[in-house]
Amino acid sequence: MKNPFTNRWRRWINKRVPRSDLQAFSQRNIFILPTGAGLVFGLLLVVMLLTGINYQNSLIYLSTFLLGALFVGAMHQTHRNLSGLELALVQSGEGFAGDDIPFRFRLKAGREGGVAILLSSEDSELAPVHVVSGQALDVTLPVHSAYRGYLRPDRVRIETRFPFGLLKAWSWIRPVSVGVAFPRPVPAPEALSTVDDGDEAAEASSVEGNDHADIRPWREGDLSQRVLWKRFARTGQMVVADWEGEQGSPYWLDFNAYPGADHELRLSYLAFLVKERGESGAQFGLYLPGQVIEPDSGPAHMARCLRVLATWGQERPRDTSAEPHGTRKKQKGRKFQRPVEEQT
């Protein structure tokens, strides 16, 4: 897209860092380069060597070689600091769009610990953490969500510059699991439900031509859409089709109750109501085109509703298990993946 080289680079990296919720870092996928300071340090070594040559000073030679060798040693040190670590996405977070959504990672050290490990995604960065050898550490990385829907940081970068900051070694984890950003709650106006209360009508999605409709005269406050205009044309009477149980069901939160509003806004209204009702412990059901959640109460129900609101009309990100074939054998330690959260 941007330029062929970037694409190619990206592909090359993606091959080395396949999508997985668990990434073990080794030579295969650790990248290491000098930092800016490291480059200046290299320059300094050259200047020192020139000084040594010019003044025929053995000790300057000696210190140049010593610092140069330490630089190479630091390279291994920095690399080893990262390799052997395992980073797993333990829990992908949920939250309201616009907030930072926490993704919980577990950093597990191998035989050697990791010092000053930095985790970062595109726009957030954590303070460096240390993990002692043989132990694990949970860190929570906030990922900023702009829109409702599935949320997944494309790449989470793990980096270390220890010990001297002259070199940086880094790699990525490209999580499979997705987090969810709920629609941002927006206080909803009073609304009507279009959903039938009865069990058998739960799937009702058709609106027009329904026999159950009671017909009554138009009165102040009825929406103009509800007016049966055909009949008006025929008879000149403004009548309104009143669906059964229309007002009698405070349980139902209905997507169709906000005609005229943008879809996203409707979802935001619903999110607000779900949140409000869920917190007050009330019973409620959720009606979305194509998806109905039976009335219930409790935090689990609320979460489920919010999740459905978040992902309504969206596809899960592709590439959830995209991996070139034939790489399985080489991939030690990443045969298990976190079970994809089963959603109904």
Partner 1 sequence: MSLLDRQRNTDKSGDKAINLPSRALLWLICSFALLLTPQWDRLPLWLIAVCALLASWRWLAQYGKVRLPGRILKTGVMVSLIGVYLATFQGGFSVDTAASFFVVAVGLKWLETRSVRDFYVLFFILVYLATVNFLFHQEILWALVNFTGVAFLLVGLQVLNAPDLPGGMTPIWRRLGAMFLKTIPIVVLLFVFFPRMSPLWSVPLVTGEARTGISDTMKPGDISNLAQSSERAFRATFGGEMPAYRDRYWKGLFLDYLDGETWRQGQQEGARPLGRVAVDGGIGQLEPDQYDVLLEPTDQRWAFALEGSRAVSDNVFEDSPDLFRFRRPADSPVRYRMAREGGALASDPQHPADLQRYLQLPRDGNPRARQLALELRRTMGDESIVRTLLERFREQEYFYTLRPPAMPDNGIDSLLFDEKRGFCAHYAGATTFVLRAAGIPARVVVGYQGGEKGAGGDYLIVRQYDAHAWVEAYIDGLGWIRIDPTAAIAPERIESGLRDAVAEEGSFLENDWASPQRYADVALVQWASLQFDRINYQWQRWVVGYQGQSQMDLMSRLPGGFGMRELGYLTAGIVGIGLLIAGLVSAFQMRRGERYDGFRRVVETWHRLCASAGVPVRHGETPSVLASRLAQAEPAAADSARLFARMVNSHYYSAGKEVGGSEQLKRMRRLLATMKRQVQRSRTRTGNASD
**Please, which residue, 275 or 338, has the CB nearer to partner 1?**
338
Rounded to a whole number of angstroms, the minimum distance from the CB of residue 118 to partner 1 is: 10
Rounded to a whole number of angstroms, the minimum distance from the CB of residue 59 to partner 1 is: 4
Q: Which residues pair with 144 in a beta bridge?
A: 100
Q: Are 285 and 253 in contact (CB under 8 A)?
A: yes
CA 45, 48, 54, 55 torsion: positive or negative? negative
Rounded to a whole number of angstroms, the minimum distance from the CB of residue 305 to partner 1 is: 25
Q: In 119-244, which residue ranges form alpha helices assigned H by DSSP?
A: 229-235
- What's at 311, amino acid-wise? T
**Please, which residue, 84 or 153, has the CB nearer to partner 1?**
84
The beta-strand segments (E) located in 174-302 are 179-182, 214-217, 239-242, 252-254, 284-288, 291-296
Rounded to a whole number of angstroms, the minimum distance from the CB of residue 147 to partner 1 is: 27
343 three-state secondary structure: coil
**Please, which residue, 136 or 261, has the CB nearer to partner 1?**
136
| Opening angle at CA 199, ends 196 and 200, nearest 5 | 90
**Please, which residue, 209 or 339, has the CB nearer to partner 1?**
339
- What's at 21, amino acid-wise? D
Buried b (16+ CB within 10 A) or exposed e, 6-36: eeeeeeeebeebbbbbbbbbbeebbebebee
Rounded to a whole number of angstroms, the minimum distance from the CB of residue 20 to partner 1 is: 8
Proportion of the chain in helix, strand, coil states, percent, rounded to 5 = 30, 25, 45
**Please, which residue, 137 or 238, has the CB nearer to partner 1?**
137
Rounded to a whole number of angstroms, the minimum distance from the CB of residue 301 to partner 1 is: 24
d(CA 310, CA 50): 64
Rounded to a whole number of angstroms, the minimum distance from the CB of residue 259 to partner 1 is: 43
**Please, which residue, 34 or 295, has the CB nearer to partner 1?**
34
110 three-state secondary structure: coil
**Please, which residue, 40 or 282, has the CB nearer to partner 1?**
40
